[in-house]
Structure 1
Amino acid sequence: MESQVLMDASSSSRGARENKDEDYWRYQPLLKAALRGDWDSAKGFFDQDPDALTAHITDAKQTALHLAISSGRSIEFVEKLVDLMPPEALALRASQGRTALHIAALYGNTKAAVILVEKHPTSLYIRSYDQNQLPLHFAANGGHKDTLLYLLSVTEDDPVSKPFAYPSGALLLYQAVDSEFYGSSARTNPPAEHYIALDLVGRHPELGTSKLVDDKHALKTMARKASAFPSSIRLNRWQRLIYSYVPVENYADQDHNRSDIENPVNSSQVIAQKHSWARILGTNFPNSVSRKLQAMLWKVLELLATRYGIHEVVEEVVESFPQAIWYVDNDGYNIFGLAVIYRCENVFNLIYQMSGHKQDMMFVVDKNWNTMLHLAGRLAPFDKLNLVPGAALQMQRELQWFKEVENLVTPGYKEYQNEGNEFPSMVFTKEHKKLVEEGEKWMKDTANSCTIAAALIATIAFAAVITVPGGTNGTNGVPVFSKANAFIVFIVSDAISLFTSTMSLLMFLSILTSRYAEGDFLYVLPKRLIIGLVTLFMSITTMILAFSSTLYLVFGNNKEWILIPVAALACLPITSFMFLQFPLLVDLISSTYGPGIFGKKSDRFFF
């Protein structure tokens, strides 16, 4: 009897599924029409079956309106469909409790969102089943700024749904920062709502330090956004020049003649201070800060801002909460120790903006008795090494880090042994053994290639002097074209080409026969490579000049116009060398004789 009941129940359930599948198949023409935006076909279906207006036509419980909005094919289709539907039908939910407005926000269909809100404004406050999200959250999480701006303009701080209170507001701020909606738009004098994250914190300061259940908070997310800060943007020289002249809108510098700022209720919440990323996130903390908040701040400094080299966040957090500079993690590292480990010079350079406290910062010893110099002796992370071209220059950068830290620590730390009885120099040698080998191979490969080119040029230049263009006078051996100006150009440029190519050859040979000690990568080897490349470039240029003058002497017949094609063709190899080898030469000169990556970069006081 019991088994029969189970069989009947199973049959009933299977029959229900089959009926449901039958319904979905019945709605296939409507589904296709909604996806295509074919209103005539859909209207004919609705005329025959009015219930189809609100029916779930997919197994995800989507209505025709859900599908039409997500496809984005025809806003006219959406508009006509909404006109036929009763207002309460716009609140119908698909799977995960998503209404049509949720779908419009998710796909960034702003026009559809406007239509839905105008007919059913309460859709703004319906939450989905997944994390109780409003349409606002879907737009922010999907990265649809225009849709989010519209929804923010029509969403009120409803006392029942509380869209901007914790945790809803904290989630919205987190999503806005994660989607990088914290800066200004491209408009002139943008209103405050274009600074989405900044405006949210200005109106609700408590959101800046609110943490979600899964350890997400806006400050931590902002600290991960390296591209949001000038210090982390990799620009070439021309881009930096242009960037320095680009006007940047500043929310704090805007003319605050808005009605909401004039309102005394809101004016106390508006951030009317200079622009800073930490203040965007509400880190103007009171003197008494909870342990939980202290821990959160240290996590921001330790795992994110310091690791990514975002000194702006470090500066603002320390300025707002100075005690954070003394924090150390479980391994005993402070922010400067972490900056050394992760090779973040932007953060490390803050030590030059400090007062006498910088000495204390360098006295740190971790749980394994490693000093700051031991940390500098470690190999840099792979992603940091790859920022420098070539193993030899990578080794040079590592030596620069070690020497810089060595100059800042006390003399006793140079001979300080860690838990493994290793001196800092021993740690450096052990960690960089493979990089030294790679640097030696890179140097030798480069020198070998350039040696061949220099030898060929020297051979050609020497032979050209012996067999001068036009030959010599049979009676006294004087060159036929000795009185021509082009011949003087030939002799001078050929001589320079011979001498510079020989010099280049000697430099590259000295690189090949070098001992390749660690310290050689700091100045000796880069200096030889720089001289070799510069003289090779000079020899190529003068060789081309000598050849061009010869062409003019032999075939020009004093015709000035022939200089134009000759000069144009002569520029090709020189230009090729500039594009192929000149960037390496610039990097070598900059890293060896440039201002360097260390030193005081700002006059702003840091603790």
Structure 2
Amino acid sequence: MTTAIVRTSLNYKNYNDWKSQIKTYLLAEDLWDIIDEGTDECPKTEEEKAQSKGWKKDAKALYAIQNSCGDDTYDLIKYKTTAKQAWDTLSKKLEKPGGPSNEKEYMSVGEAYQPEVLIEERRTPGAGLDEIQETFVKCVVSNDWDNAINFLRQHPQLGSAIVKWGGTALHYAIRKRCSVRRIQELVELMPMEHLEIPAAFGYTALYWLIRRFPERVEVAKCMAKKNPNLLTILPRWDKKALVAIAQANTRGERMARYIYSLTPPETIKVVDAAHLISHGFRLQRFDIAWDLIQCYPKLAMNTDHNGNIPLVALASNCFAFKSGSRLNLWEKLIYIGIRIKPLPPLDKEKHESDEGHLSDQKENQSHLISSGMGLFQRLVANLQKKFGISRIYQMKLVHERVQQFLPLMCKAVRKEDMNYYQERKLEEALCVATEQGHVEYITNFLRYSSYPVLKVGNQKFQSLFQIAAECRHYNVYNIICEFLRRPDKDGLDKSESGLHSDELKEEVEYVDNLGNNMLHTVAMITPLSQIDHIQGATLQMQRELQWFKEVKSIAEPKDCESVNKDNKTPRKVFKENHKELGKEAEKSMKETATACTVVGSLIITIMFAAAFTVPSENDKNDEKTDLPTFLTNKVFTIFIVSDAISLFSSTTSVIMFLGILTSRYSEDDFYKSLPTKMIIGLFTLFLSIATMMIVFSCGLYIMLEGKSSIVIPSILLASVPVTSFIWMQFPLLLELFISTFGQGVFDRKQKNLF
């Protein structure tokens, strides 16, 4: 045996080519019977080995298989002791799922042999029909359909005449987008078998209609009614069912629903069914997919014609999950207010009767808009378009539908039912879903699937828990934490008692290929770390500290001092990775504090002077008191109180900002000390500005009493600075407050998800 057994070295992509070559080699060497029948285990003694010829042939076949494997595929069989074990392992791990290799298995017998018969018929037309056929063809090509139909009425055999592009008159009429009435007349006059005649490229008129003009459902109805066999006739080069072709077209929703209503689901090929589900998710058409998933949940892990797996493709679709959508406050309120009617469970009687069960599911599409389009309905539709209600409704519809599909699909995922290719694709999908923060996807897998989700890792050998921490997806992190803290066998709920389960400890201790445990991972800022959406370097630094302290709270002391392959502890990794972010946060806080200190100082000066410069005159009739005449006026009282509040609050604000400017800016200061000072400073500055405007308005009212045409507009203008401050600084103040004093992103009180 030479070193190069076959030309092709086996890898994960060329199994079929390798299989053909190695099988030929084994047949030539008279070793294939070893693979077919198998042998006993390796003899233990030298005497048994000498007597066992079958074992020698098995060793020779095993050597041939091992020697033709690449470095990556050899690991799959290096511990196998017989050739049959190695062959079966490679077949299970590397053979990709798919349909039959024989092309004719996708076709009916009539379709396979019909073209030869039709060609023969066309070569021997009736002698007297040559001139009539030529005239008929000219009428069709010139769009003289009245005369063409008269000819066809008198001579039905003209329906098989080749008109143009290798097709019949029906092909031509469909291609020229003739009216439904004309096409119906052609179909009625043509014999049933003529509807099955393929054009030059092998496609029937119905196939061409569905592929190019799927919106013309009425035309398809008349053709399918005349000849139901058309639904099963496909070109040799296209293995997709007609319903799958219609579903993949952006304009083919109605066509797909109609053809699916005529096709019993049990007659649809697995690859076509997976194709229907995949494109149903892609184009947000859930009725057919819902029918198939209810009947056959395991379709979720089958490959379609494009090599995609529905459940795998769903993981990378950020529009399919609420966690992947960014909504502002107004859009969130609309989203919460919308109600979506769930898809009904499968009704077998309707399922076997007609397409009524599909059309019922379209009621949700008109949930917000009435069927009539009167003046009020048009007004409602315009308002919905203006405020984006229809877009948000469609978004929530997709989210609700996916949430309804996921439990059924996840329950059907079982490791023992999958081959190696499907396992790899599913694990990649779980890693992608974790990286993108699709908490709904991960939650349904943890809740319903028996697949060992937490054993999944990426190319860096990171677990899903580590990926969630690295990408800063706190929802996924919390869900996995809760799953790992399930009650133990004695009924002790370890999440409430403050203890950490053994599974959680193992996940925190687990190290990747660089020796990084959970604390090392969260201490690093990588391109996957989602911190750009956080406003300002100060909040980013605070959030990073919160993440590190959170993971540290569930880690053991030895994990905090563990070193990676670079001989660095988690704390050292954190310092090195956050050095630049700390400088940016320090610069940002100093600039903000400096600007606010200047504003606060100006307000102090103004308010101190205002208390002694109010225009007034003393009471001449009361020589004893010598008090201003406005002392008893309510407006004057508001003036004095507001002035005092503005003076004291601005002074407090300046003191807080000075405290920020003189801080030492250590890492721990960004956790609570500096944000707290910033919150107090911004709040008191806002209070001083608001009360300063009240002081101004009261002073103006006192001076110009009785001149409301000047006073009222001036008071309204005084509200502009307050509104501007709220618009520009209040979001930062609110986010700082929630991040510092709120429950935070690591909420322990998730309720009964598992």
Q: Which has the higher contact order (CA 8 A, sep 6+)?
A: 1
Paired position in structure 1 for 2:482: 352
The within-5 A match list for 1:451-530 is 451-470=597-616, 478-530=627-679
Conserved? CA contact 1:374–1:424, under 8 Å: yes
Paired position in structure 2 for 1:324: 453
Tell me, which stretches of 5 or more residues in structure 1 are unaligned? Answer: 1-40, 69-76, 183-193, 264-273
Alpha-carbon distance in 1 for matches of 2:195, 2:617:
99
Per-residue deviation, 1:279: 3.1
Of 206, 220, 228, the residue aligned with 2:320 is: 228
Alpha-carbon distance in 2 for matches of 1:471, 1:380:
70
For 2:566, what is the secondary structure of its paired residue?
Answer: coil
Conserved? CA contact 1:209–1:283, under 8 Å: no
Paired position in structure 2 for 1:55: 164
Letter in 2 for 1:137: A
For structure 1, which segment, 446-455 or 430-439, has the greater mean C-alpha deviation from structure 2 after superposition?
446-455
Question: Is the counterpart of residue 310 in structure 1 residue 438 in structure 2?
Answer: yes
Conserved? CA contact 1:552–1:562, under 8 Å: no
Per-residue deviation, 1:120: 6.2
Letter in 2 for 1:455: S
Question: Is the counterpart of residue 165 in structure 1 residue 269 in structure 2?
Answer: yes
Per-residue deviation, 1:124: 4.2
Paired position in structure 2 for 1:140: 247
Letter in 2 for 1:501: S
Letter in 2 for 1:259: E
Per-residue deviation, 1:539: 1.2
Alpha-carbon distance in 1 for matches of 2:538, 2:199:
62
Conserved? CA contact 1:331–1:366, under 8 Å: yes
Question: Is the counterpart of residue 151 in structure 1 residue 258 in structure 2?
Answer: yes
Per-residue deviation, 1:166: 2.2
For 1:306, what is the secondary structure of its paired residue?
Answer: helix
Question: Is the counterpart of residue 342 in structure 1 residue 342 in structure 2?
Answer: no
The within-5 A match list for 1:138-287 is 138-144=245-251, 146-147=253-254, 150-157=257-264, 162=267, 164-182=268-286, 194=287, 196-212=288-304, 215-236=307-328, 240=332, 243-244=335-336, 246-251=338-343, 254=344, 259-260=349-350, 276-281=404-409, 283-285=411-413
Conserved? CA contact 1:110–1:146, under 8 Å: no
- Pick closer, same or farther for the CA change 1:534–1:201 going to 2, 3 Å: same
Question: Is the counterpart of residue 538 in structure 1 residue 669 in structure 2?
Answer: no
1:415-452 per-position Cα deviation (integer Å, ceiling 9, x unaligned): 11100011111111222222222223332333344334
Paired position in structure 2 for 1:365: 511
Paired position in structure 1 for 2:416: 288
For 1:227, what is the secondary structure of its paired residue?
Answer: helix
Alpha-carbon distance in 2 for matches of 1:462, 1:331:
64
Of 407, 415, 421, the residue aligned with 2:553 is: 407
For structure 1, which segment, 199-208 or 366-375, has the greater mean C-alpha deviation from structure 2 after superposition?
199-208
Paired position in structure 2 for 1:188: none
Conserved? CA contact 1:511–1:528, under 8 Å: yes
For 1:384, what is the secondary structure of its paired residue?
Answer: coil
Question: Is the counterpart of residue 297 in structure 1 residue 426 in structure 2?
Answer: yes
Letter in 1 for 2:596: C
Paired position in structure 2 for 1:187: none
Letter in 2 for 1:346: N
Conserved? CA contact 1:46–1:53, under 8 Å: no
Conserved? CA contact 2:646–2:691, under 8 Å: yes
RMSD over aligned CA atoms reads 3.9
- Pick closer, same or farther for the CA change 1:114–1:212 going to 2, 3 Å: closer
Per-residue deviation, 1:230: 3.6
Conserved? CA contact 1:444–1:511, under 8 Å: yes
The within-5 A match list for 1:387-466 is 387-466=533-612
For 1:369, what is the secondary structure of its paired residue?
Answer: coil
Instruction: Name the count of aligned residue pairs.
Output: 524
Alpha-carbon distance in 2 for matches of 1:515, 1:176:
58
For 2:563, what is the secondary structure of its paired residue?
Answer: coil
- Pick closer, same or farther for the CA change 1:454–1:56 going to 2, 3 Å: farther
1:570-592 per-position Cα deviation (integer Å, ceiling 9, x unaligned): 44433333222222211111111
1:269-304 per-position Cα deviation (integer Å, ceiling 9, x unaligned): xxxxx96543343642457344524434322222x2
Alpha-carbon distance in 1 for matches of 2:644, 2:221:
78
Conserved? CA contact 1:209–1:218, under 8 Å: yes
Alpha-carbon distance in 2 for matches of 1:450, 1:408:
39
TM-score (norm 1): 0.75
Q: Which has the larger radius of gyration?
A: 2
Paired position in structure 2 for 1:554: 703
Alpha-carbon distance in 2 for matches of 1:395, 1:320:
37
- Pick closer, same or farther for the CA change 1:306–1:255 going to 2, 3 Å: closer
Alpha-carbon distance in 2 for matches of 1:580, 1:527:
19
Alpha-carbon distance in 2 for matches of 1:597, 1:556:
53
Conserved? CA contact 1:298–1:327, under 8 Å: yes
Conserved? CA contact 2:173–2:183, under 8 Å: no
For structure 1, which segment, 399-408 or 277-286, has the greater mean C-alpha deviation from structure 2 after superposition?
277-286
Paired position in structure 2 for 1:78: 179
Per-residue deviation, 1:564: 6.0
Of 546, 568, 573, the residue aligned with 2:721 is: 573
Paired-residue identity, %: 31
1:395-431 per-position Cα deviation (integer Å, ceiling 9, x unaligned): 2111111111111111111111100011111111222
Letter in 2 for 1:216: N
Conserved? CA contact 1:306–1:338, under 8 Å: yes
- Pick closer, same or farther for the CA change 1:472–1:67 going to 2, 3 Å: farther
Alpha-carbon distance in 2 for matches of 1:467, 1:91:
101
Tell me, which stretches of 5 or more residues in structure 2 are unaligned? Answer: 1-140, 152-157, 354-401, 487-500
Conserved? CA contact 1:369–1:419, under 8 Å: yes
Conserved? CA contact 1:78–1:112, under 8 Å: no
Letter in 2 for 1:489: I
Letter in 2 for 1:207: L
